[in-house]
Amino acid sequence: MARPALVLGALVLGVALGAGFWLRSPAFGYGEPIPPRYTCAGENLSPPLVWGGVPRGAAALVLAVLDPDAPGGTFVHWVAYDLPPDLEGLEEGASRKLPYKQAVNDFGRVGYGGPCPPPGAPHRYFFRLYALPRALGLPGGVGARRVLARLGEVGALGEAVWMGTFRR
């Protein structure tokens, strides 16, 4: 089943959903509030994530956390890339000790930056896991938007999505 392209600023990522590819967090339900410990209002830890059904032929995974409701356009909170395809999840706080490549997020730091919207309406935070036919071939610590642009060039075999909300 085809999915419309994801528009991220000037980046367009065309993605086809892989049958049975899934992602979830045991810390919060789909569309439910993200607990404060995973936000700037708490410990700013990356939440635990689990996944399965990685499409056959996947050689690498990319995890991106995006806020499309940010005032200046989609805000990138975290991108971890070239994760091994046999990885089945990440524990709470994994971004602080992840042995895999992570990009510089829109906070200007490598790793995870939790939800931290301005006071007011809740924002949606999309955790997107992409299965790739090959690794991106970028060094660690590059800008998140460069990683996402490279993701668009390589193309994905599948995408799994989990979404939570947060309001200050």
Per-residue pLDDT reduced to its tens digit, 18-54: 569 999 999 999 999 999 999 999 999 999 999 999 9
Which pLDDT does position 143 carry in this prediction? 98
Instruction: Determine, yes or no, domain membership for 52.
Output: yes
Residues contacting 143, CB < 8 A, separation 6+ = 103, 104
Q: How far apart are CA 132 and CA 83, in angstroms?
A: 10
What is the span of the domain harbouring residue 129? 6-166
Instruction: Determine, yes or no, domain membership for 57.
Output: yes
Which pLDDT does position 26 carry in this prediction? 98
**Nearest CA among 88, 15, 3 for reference residue 49:** 88
Buried b (16+ CB within 10 A) or exposed e, 44-78: bbbbbbebeebbeebebbbbbbbbeebeeebbbbb
Q: How far apart are CA 93 and CA 162, in angstroms?
A: 17
Which pLDDT does position 19 carry in this prediction? 63
Instruction: Determine, yes or no, domain membership for 13.
Output: yes
Pairing of strands 75-83, 123-132: unpaired
Which pLDDT does position 4 carry in this prediction? 31
User: In this model, does residue 153 exceed pLDDT 80?
Assistant: yes
Instruction: Determine, yes or no, domain membership for 137.
Output: yes
Domain tally for the chain? 1
Mean pLDDT, the chain, whole residue set = 90
Instruction: Determine, yes or no, domain membership for 1.
Output: no
CATH number, domain containing residue 83:
3.90.280.10
Residues contacting 12, CB < 8 A, separation 6+ = 5, 6, 152
